[in-house]
Amino acid sequence: MSYTIGDGLVSLALAGGLVGYFYVRNWSRQKRMEIIHQERMAAMEKGIPLPEFPMEPAQERREPDPRVLPILGTVLLSVSIGAMIVLDLVLPAPTRAFWISPLPIAFLGVGLIACHFLKTGTER
């Protein structure tokens, strides 16, 4: 397989983006820690007691959204049906039998929609 200059540039851009993301994340965390430290030192000089704060804020656990399954199922079903129609219209006659290849994705969408309705039927 022969790689081009563009492939190398894309790889370098992705690697640079990842390194930049982690650098900025670490930098912002460090800045936040410096600000907290300065506030604490100023409070200690004035004799003001401060409550203990965790270094990292606790992440809240949210209730799962019940609309995700039917939305994802509808998107998968509509995209796969559209792909089947396009494949049937665009492919030449000898390979027209490949229109059925997105069918597993359509079944996945139907399954997600059915799972949503079965799950909501038992909760009522």
Q: For 80-95, how does the pLDDT look when each residue is reduced to its tens digit (9 = 90+)?
A: 999 999 999 999 988 8
Residues whose CB is less than 8 angstroms from the CB of residue 32 and which lie 6 or more positions away in sequence, other chains included: none
Give 96's DSSP letter: G
d(C-alpha 103, C-alpha 83), whole Å: 9
- Residues 55 and 84 grouped into a single domain: no
Hey, CA dihedral for 90, 96, 98, 104, is it positive or negative? positive
Is residue 124 pLDDT above 60, yes or no? Answer: no
Checking if the pLDDT of 78 tops 70, the result is yes
* Number of separate domains in the chain: 2
| Residue-level length of the chain | 124
Indicate if 48 and 82 belong to the same structural domain.
Answer: no
Which pLDDT score is estimated for 9?
A: 95
Do 79 and 48 have their domain in common? no
Q: Are residues 1 and 51 in the same domain?
A: yes
Helix, strand or coil, per DSSP, at residue 101: coil
DSSP code of residue 4: -
Res 54: pLDDT: 64
Residue that is last in its domain, among 59, 93, 108: 59
Dump pLDDT digits (tens) for 2-27.
889 999 999 999 999 999 999 999 99
Question: What was the pLDDT predicted at 55?
Answer: 62
Q: Is 8 in the same domain as 48?
A: yes
% of the chain exceeding 90 in pLDDT: 57
pLDDT reported for residue 82:
96
Q: What range does the domain containing 96 cover?
A: 68-123
- Above 70 in pLDDT, residue 57? no
Q: Are residues 37 and 75 in the same domain?
A: no
Q: What is the pLDDT of residue 56?
A: 65
Question: Residue 65, exposed/middle/buried by CB under 10 A (0-12, 13-18, 19+)?
Answer: exposed
Say if residue 39's pLDDT is above 60: yes
